[in-house]
Structures are given as C-alpha cells and as structure tokens.
Amino acid sequence: QVQLVESGGGLVQAGGSLRLSCAASGIAVGIYTMGWYRQAPGKQRELVAGITRGGSTNYGDSVKGRFTISRDNAKNTVYLQMNSLKPEDTAIYYCNGYQPTNPGNYWGQGTQVTVSS
C-alpha cells in the first residue's frame, strides 16, 4: 500500500542542476521523516539529505551548500534540488520514509543520476 516513486534522474554535465522528485502514496510526507540516500558502485549507501516532520533538515558533508531537500505536503511529494553537480555525485538516488511510532520504514526503487565531466 505504501509506495515511493522517484523521478527526475538522468544525465547531466558537471556544473549543471537537476531536481529529483519522490511521489508518496500510502503515507503522508508531512508526518514522516523523509530522506534521500544514494549509492554508487562499490560504495556504501549514504545519506544525502533528510527532513523531519518539524521541518529540520540535515545534509551529508559532501553535498552541503549544493543540494536542498524540500517537501510539498499538498502534493505529498519530496524534492531534492541538486546544483553544481560533480562527477562524484553519480549514483542511484533513493527516497526513504521513516516513522518509528507506526512503525514504518519505506524505500523507493531509485533513480539513476549520472554526471559527466
């Protein structure tokens, strides 16, 4: 019943921008902690950005100042605005929703982001 669907990935040149979307159904993004994670080949899955129910945000060190997470509760969608993209940002990006009191921990299928040099 819960589904997270990422979109917006693709190929972009270094220095460019891309906006990822995570459309949620079965949960309300406004009451979950929502996050973006990424995984590159041969590397661990890492936190990119997160946003709590109260609106607090946090970012991985490698993306601070370049990426911004936001949500639109009316659209039940979470976004990741990515600016000044670098080749090392190349990865599969996953959307996550978490609520310990439900409990709930859900993942999308991922969307590929490739940044060329």
Q: For residue 71, which of 1, 14, 4, 2 has the smallest C-alpha distance?
A: 4
What CA–CA distance (Å, rounded) separates 94 from 109? 7
* pLDDT tens for each residue of 42-63: 999 999 999 999 999 999 999 9
In the beta sheet, which residues pair with residue 90? none
Per-residue pLDDT at 20: 98
Token pair for residue 96?
Answer: 């996550």
What CA–CA distance (Å, rounded) separates 114 from 85? 10
Distance linking the first and last C-alpha atoms of the chain: 40
Stretches where the chain sits below pLDDT 50 are none
Strands (E), the chain: 3-7, 10-13, 18-25, 33-39, 46-51, 57-59, 67-72, 77-82, 91-99, 104-107, 111-116
Per-residue pLDDT at 103: 82
